[in-house]
Chains A and B, each alone.
Chain A
Amino acid sequence: MAEPYAESPLATYTEVLSRHSVPGRIDIAERPFVAQVDVRVDPKSPAAERIGTALGAMLPNQPGEVAVAGELSVLWLGPDEWLILGPEGSQETIQDTVNAALDGDHAAVVDVSANRTILSITGPKTRELLNKGCALDLHPRSFAVDRCAQTMLARAGVILVCRDTQLPSYWVIVRSSFARYVADWLADAAVEYGSGSG
């Protein structure tokens, strides 16, 4: 019988991304296989509160807010929708935790780990690079650590997460089918930061 295996959407891009990274200026790499669970529930319901208690962080109720609980991050995607990120392989545990907290109440809990992959972009040129294809104000003043936004990067729908404003470091969470396009776009946009230019 065939052994099931996982291959990330950017499995063949490791070399391309590292070749277009520029030490000390910009680093682009995939963070594959991060567990992702989408939760939709009435934000004012007791169930939402129980989920927060079970996860260790209340489901954030401010647009673009990210709540962190240990190894989990909970991203606000909408007033009744959240994306829970966890370590590789933790999707079933996350779902079990949320479902147990629901205790039969109405909600949607879906493993969407294969829906998107993550591009991690780090270095002093990161904001400049992202703003070539994204109109959001990424200055820490308006997009600080643990803020997220669903928006468009080079016309592709993405979720942006600010991980660190000092380095700085951002996550671009992108649909698997758009991952290679966005990776190509990022690699091209980073060319000018290479040695001897920019």
Chain B
Amino acid sequence: MMLIPCPWCGPRNEIEFHYGGQADVHYPSDPRSTSDEDWAHFLFFRDNPKGVFTERWSHAAGCRRWFTVHRDTVTNEIHPDDSASAARTVTR
């Protein structure tokens, strides 16, 4: 069981959260001219590091906000994302 720090509610049990995969995967800026290969990379290709991974979580059973953390995939140690803007922006 992991204790995940929701930037709003504080540390909560893993079962309250939804996993959102790798963070900072941006929608292509010009979809019309994006090649099939680039689409494939946007849709299906993700990093798979042994070590610190920046990823998205949603506090599904709590405040229902998405946020970003850095998790070590070896130890499951989780560190909050320090950029305050990312942590406490009101997003829907």
Residue of B nearest to A64 (CB): B9
Q: Is the CB of B8 within 8 A of A79?
A: yes
Q: Is the CB of A42 within 8 A of B16?
A: no
Would you give the shortest CB distance from B30 to chain A, in whole angstroms? Answer: 30
Consensus secondary structure, chain B interface: loop
Residue of A nearest to B9 (CB): A63
Q: Is the CB of A77 within 8 A of B16?
A: no
A77 to B8, CA, bound (A): 10
A157 to B88, CA, bound (A): 23
Interface size on B, residues (CB 8 A): 15
Q: Mark B1-23, 1 if CB is under 8 A from A, else 0.
A: 00000001110110110000000
A154 to B80, CA, bound (A): 28
Q: Is the CB of A78 within 8 A of B16?
A: no
Q: Is the CB of B63 within 8 A of A79?
A: yes
- Binding-face segment, A26-34, A66-74, A145-153: A145-153
For A151, what are the chain B residues with a Cβ–Cβ distance below 8 Å?
12, 16, 61-62
Decide yes or no whether A80 CB sits under 8 A from chain B: yes
Q: Is the CB of A63 within 8 A of B16?
A: no
- Give 9 nearest A-B pairs by CB, closest first: A78-B63, A150-B62, A63-B8, A79-B90, A135-B13, A157-B61, A80-B90, A152-B61, A63-B9
A-side interface residues toward B, CB under 8 Å? 42-43, 63-64, 77-81, 135, 149-152, 155, 157
